[in-house]
Amino acid sequence: MTSSDSNTPIVPSQPAAPKTGVTETMMSLIMSFVLAMTARGFIIEGFVIPTGSMAPTLMGQHVRWSSPQTGWEYAIDANGYLGRWQLAAQELNKLNGRLSAIKDPEQRKTIRNRDLKRALIARWDPMFGLTDPVERSTPEPIQPIPANGDRVIVLKSLYPFSSPERFNVVVFKNPTDPVGPTQNFIKRLVGLPEEQLVVVDGDVFTGPLEGSPESLRVVRKPEFVQRAVWQPVYDSSFVPVELVRWEESSQSSWWGAPFMPQAGDWKIGTDRTWRTTSDQPAALSWNHDEWPITDFNMYNVNRLPNASVPPFSRDPFPISDIRIAGVVEPLDGREFAGTRLVMTTRGLLFEWSVKSGALELRMSRESDGSELSSISTPFDVSRSAFEIDCWQVDQKMWLFINGTLELELPFNDWSPEERFQASYPDTTVETYLTNPTLPRPAGPQIDWYFDGGVEAIRNVRVDRDLFYRPTMLDSANQRSQNGPFVRGLGFGSDFRTPGRLERGQHLMFGDNSAASRDGRIWGRPHPLSAQYTGDDAPFIVPQDMLIGKAFSVYWPAPLSFPGTDSRWVPNFGKLRFIR
């Protein structure tokens, strides 16, 4: 090797530059498409929620409205609202046409005052109360553009390898219409294979296939599901801000907050904080006449035949599964004496007690006060403000302090028929089973006692649980091409003859029970479904028709750009997992 050779740098060989062109681009696009279709077919898929059968857990096409009094905002079924808008707009156009032909100003005023009410839309606010509308107004000049339903991601890879769990939200092929416009449904899975099932007073009771009807017991939602399905009844953070204007326009007086003072020097009014400055015992009671706690869902407000009457005039079902929470603030520097929440419902007294040094749950008979069960634990109540959160749901009491579960007390003794007797003491079994949609249980009585040493309570909230309504079979909910109509009670409505789910069969309910076409009422499957699954049983969803578990809302209904009806602003605040 020469010296000149040793000084010559060695340059590593470079790979040839990749050739790019139409062929390579097309191959990349095809590969991406194949991967996307593979994921869509076997792993995940997106679906749009079309209707409100799962509202407010999942929203179908809807219109959002915000109350001018409290600021409470909620979604309304789009079809119901637009139908109401069109009727009101037609009446307004007719009235304006009549008025344009009248020259006398006084006559015009008289006719307008007399006939305008037919062109008004009644708007309701659950935080204001549902005795009277919070507002009656003429329809918007331009027909509102409804928001689209939520878009959800469905995990399709789970159920081929694992069994679905009770209370999963599931997308499945509709057995009654597997190839039509309603071929995909989304509901909550309530009934599992190889069990008996019956619904009583809004709750679900199940038991093994070989058991007697008396052996069935209530099933309970996991805590994370229960928190997701609570539906608001009242929240003291939303208070009326223009009561004088409302009282003048409606020519009536507001009925007040739902908790009424029974003892003590309470100052409630329209303040977000309720105060008592006395060291003497104080008490609040729920106003059931003006604030009934029922299964009414505000999403359905415009589905009523007459949306100008109070929503609860349509005989919704009073509910006993309730959550009551609030922040209690002891007087500065003084020891907290104690508070006790008492709910009387279904023949029982439920008591949640928070005292200095102890927490206690107690369940007793309403008739004689005899104790059925109780549980307590030592607890040091802070001298500062603390949150108390009391649940009675699915025959179980819960007590949370500052968000932490401290006590729970289940009640498992009732069979479905015993639950019926406690809920409907004035109704015979024969009357109920003739048509279970007619009788109504009594509403709960709620009293909140304070032993003294309380300065204020705030952030008072009352929520209610899902309530699965009793059902009757109706030919309108069945398809004639699927065979003879099934008649009688809905599936799982007769506690003396519970519904039976055999191997591979599931039962689906909607969270918005009053507006949901549940499996309990949809009758026989389509012949194609029966041929595909080998199962022609009515009401049920075979395992082979499950598509997957609804995992998350990845694209909630977008918001409108301010000042326009154009809906394209992402609503990131509503992104959520589905429970």
Can you give the CATH number for the domain in which 218 is found? 2.10.109.10
Element (H, E) at 108: helix 105-115
Residue 529 lies in a domain: yes
CATH classification at residue 380: 2.60.120.560
Percent of all residues in the chain with a pLDDT value above 90, rounded to a whole number: 67
- pLDDT-flagged residues of the chain (< 50): 1-17, 37
Residue finishing a domain among 464, 479, 505: 464
Residues 252 and 308 in one domain: yes
Residues 284 and 202 in one domain: no
**380 and 277 in a common domain:** yes
The answer to whether residue 104 sits within a structural domain is no
| Domain annotation covers residue 305 | yes
Do 335 and 238 share a domain, yes or no? yes
Question: Are both 403 and 254 inside the same structural domain?
Answer: yes
Residue 217 lies in a domain: yes
**What pLDDT score was predicted for residue 3?**
41
**293, 400: one domain:** yes
Q: What is the pLDDT of residue 14?
A: 46
Q: Report if residue 137 sits inside a domain.
A: no
Same domain, 239 and 224: no
For residue 273, CA distances in Å to 238, 326, 327, 481 come to 11, 10, 10, 59
Question: What whole-number distance in Å separates Cα of residue 354 and Cα of residue 330?
Answer: 12
16 within some domain: no
Report which secondary-structure segment, H or E, holds 147.
none
In a domain, residue 145? The reply is no
Phi and psi of 475, rounded to 5°? -60, -25
Q: Residue 292: inside a domain, yes or no?
A: yes
Residues 204 and 260 placed together within one structural domain of the fold: no
- Conformational region of residue 27, where left means phi above 0, alpha means psi within -120 to 50, and beta covers everything else: alpha
Range of the domain at 188: 151-228+470-555
Around 342, how many Cα atoms within 13 Å sit in the side-chain half-sphere?
A: 16
What confidence score (pLDDT) does residue 8 get?
Answer: 34
pLDDT for 381 equals 77
Q: Are 202 and 296 in a shared domain?
A: no
Predicted local confidence at residue 26, as pLDDT? 64
Whether the Cβ atoms of residue 539 and residue 498 lie closer than 8 Å to each other: no
343 plus 201 within the same structural domain: no
End of a domain among 430, 464, 498?
464
The torsion region of residue 152 among left (phi > 0), alpha (psi -120 to 50) and beta comes to beta
Mark whether 307 and 440 lie in a shared domain: yes
Q: Which residues contact 14 (CB under 8 A, 6 or more apart)?
A: none
Indicate if 215 and 267 belong to the same structural domain: no
For the chain, how many structural domains are there in total? Answer: 2
In whole angstroms, what is the distance from residue 532 CA to residue 523 CA?
A: 17
| Tens digit of each residue's pLDDT (9 = 90 or more) over 196-244 | 999 999 999 999 999 999 999 999 999 999 999 999 999 999 999 999 9
